[in-house]
Amino acid sequence: MISPADRARPQATCRACGGTVVQFLDLGRQPLSDRFLTEPEIPQEYFFQLAVGLCETCTMVQLMQEVPRERMFHEDYPYYSSGSAVMQKHFADTARHLLETEAGGPDPFVVEIGCNDGVMLRTVHEAGVRHLGFEPSGKVAEAARAKGLRVRGDFFEESTAREVRASDGPADVIFAANTICHIPYLDSILRGVDALLGPDGVFVFEDPYLGDILAKTSFDQIYDEHFFLFSARSVQALAASFGFELVDVDRLAVHGGEVRYTLARAGARRPADRVAALIAEEDAGGVATLARLDQFAAQVGRIRDDLRALLERLTAEGKRVVAYGATAKSATVANFCGIGPDLVSRVYDTTPAKQGRLTPGTHIPVHPASEFPTDPPDYALLFAWNHADEIMAKEQAFRQAGGAWILYVPHVHVRD
Ligand SMILES: [Zn+2]
C-alpha cells in the first residue's frame, strides 16, 4: 500500500498488472542510449525523462515513461552480441543446455525473440535443429541471415506468434536474452508465447537482475531499453497472470548479474527448489520495498557526486582522462553525472558503427579501441565495467605503463 507520505511521489500505471507504480529514482533528461550521432544530428537529438518506480501490487520495477520502440530498435541499431568473446561462449553454452534439456523430441523447434546477430541460434542451427529468430533491427538481422539462420524482421507479439504457430507448429523452446526487459507491452508477448508454445514447452529468458543491481548499485542498468528490472517475485506474479508458472531461476554472472527465468504452463512442471529460495532471499533483503529502493537512490546520488569530484580534480591537475566502452549503459552515467568532453576527452570502443560518432547526450567523440594502446592516457573511466576482466586482460600494457582505471560500481574507485 502507498503510505500518505508516498502519495506525493509521481505515479504511473504498471505495464505488467495495471496497478500503481510509485517513483523512487529520477535519472534526469536522457537521450536514446544507443543513438550515436554525427555533429549535424545534434539539434534533432531526442530526449526523455528517465525515472524508475515500483508497482505496489505486483512489485514490478519499471520505467515511469516509455520510449516508442521504433525509436530504439531501428535499421542502424548498433549492438552486436557477438562482439564479446565471453558472450559468444555464454550463448553457445546456453544453446547446448537448451538443446540437451528441452529439445529431445523427434523434430524440435526453437524460437528466439530478439535473436540479434544469431549468437545463440547459430549453435541450434549447427545442431540441425529447426529454428526461427525474430529480429526487428535491420542490420543485425542481416548479420544473422548471413550465418544461414532463419530470421523474421518483425517484433514478436501476439499476431506474429500466431502466424508462426500456423506455419511451423508449436515451439518446444522460446528463448530471449536481454530482450524481454526491453518490451513494455509484456501482455502481447505473453499471449504470443501462449499461442506458440507447445503444451510441455518452456519460455526461457535472461535479463539483468534487480537483486544484483541493488547489491552493486549498478544504476547504469537503467536506460531506455531496460524498461523492466525483473526480480523472481515480480516474474512469478507476471507468469501467474498469464497461465504460466515460474519453474526455475538460474543466476548468471554475465552483464553484471542476470537471472535466467524458465516459465512453463501452470501445473506442467514442479518448480525447482531454488525458485522459492531466491524469492525468500529477495524478501529478506527487501528487494521490492520502497525503503530499500530509496536507499539505492541515495547511493546513486553519492556515486554521481564522487565521480564528478574525481574527474574535476583530475582535469584540474592536468591529467589526461578518457573512457573505455561506449556502452548503452554508459549513456545513463554520462548524462546523469554530466560527463562530457570537458571531463573525458574521448571514449574508445570496438564497435565500428559507433566509431567516428559522438556519444548520446553528452557528445564525447568515439575512437576505435585499437588506438587505445598507441596513445595511452593517465586515466581511463571503464564504462564497460561488466566486461572488466576481459578488457583489463586485453589492455594490460596500459596499467604496466602507469595508467589507472576508474570504476564507479559499486562505488567510485581507482585501480592502478
Ligand atoms: Zn504491477
CA of 135 to the centre of ligand 1 (A): 27
Beta-carbon contacts of residue 88 (< 8 Å; ≥ 6 apart): 82, 119
CA-to-CA distance for 339 and 360, rounded, in angstroms? 11
Q: Determine the pLDDT at residue 1.
A: 56
Question: In terms of C-beta density within 10 A (0-12 exposed, 13-18 middle, 19 or more buried), how is residue 124 classed?
Answer: buried
CA-to-CA distance for 85 and 88, rounded, in angstroms? 5
CA of 21 to the centre of ligand 1 (A): 7
* C-beta of residue 403 within 8 angstroms of C-beta of residue 377: yes
CA of 90 to the centre of ligand 1 (A): 31
Chain segment 299-340, per-residue pLDDT in tens: 999 999 999 999 999 999 999 999 999 999 999 999 999 999
**What is the residue-level pLDDT of the chain in tens, covering all 416 positions?**
567 777 789 999 999 999 999 999 999 999 999 899 999 999 999 999 999 999 999 999 999 998 877 676 556 666 666 667 888 999 999 999 999 999 888 999 999 999 999 999 999 999 999 999 999 888 889 999 999 999 999 899 999 999 999 999 999 999 999 999 999 999 999 999 999 999 999 999 999 999 999 999 999 999 998 999 999 999 999 999 999 999 999 999 988 899 999 999 999 999 999 999 999 999 999 998 999 999 999 999 999 999 999 999 999 999 999 999 999 999 999 999 999 999 999 999 999 989 999 999 999 999 999 999 999 999 999 999 988 988 999 999 999 999 999 999 999 999 98
Chain segment 398-411, per-residue pLDDT in tens: 999 999 999 999 99
Helix (H) or strand (E) holding 347: strand 347-349
CA of 206 to the centre of ligand 1 (A): 20
Q: Determine the pLDDT at residue 20.
A: 96
Q: Determine the pLDDT at residue 7.
A: 75
CA of 63 to the centre of ligand 1 (A): 12
- Collapse the DSSP code of 285 into the 3-class scheme (helix H, G, I; strand E, B; otherwise coil) and give the result: helix
CA of 78 to the centre of ligand 1 (A): 32
Residues paired with 37 in a beta bridge: 358
CA of 62 to the centre of ligand 1 (A): 9
| CA angle, residues 127, 130, 132, in degrees to nearest 5 | 115
Chain segment 126-167, per-residue pLDDT in tens: 999 999 999 988 888 999 999 999 999 989 999 999 999 999
Q: Determine the pLDDT at residue 254.
A: 87
Q: Determine the pLDDT at residue 73.
A: 59
Dihedral pair phi/psi, residue 325, rounded to 5°: 95, 95
CA of 221 to the centre of ligand 1 (A): 20
Q: Determine the pLDDT at residue 85.
A: 82
CA of 330 to the centre of ligand 1 (A): 28
* C-beta of residue 271 within 8 angstroms of C-beta of residue 249: no
CA of 55 to the centre of ligand 1 (A): 5
Question: In terms of C-beta density within 10 A (0-12 exposed, 13-18 middle, 19 or more buried), how is residue 4 classed?
Answer: exposed
CA of 313 to the centre of ligand 1 (A): 44
CA of 241 to the centre of ligand 1 (A): 11
CA of 60 to the centre of ligand 1 (A): 5
CA of 73 to the centre of ligand 1 (A): 25
Angle between helices 232-241 and 273-285 (to 10 degrees): 120
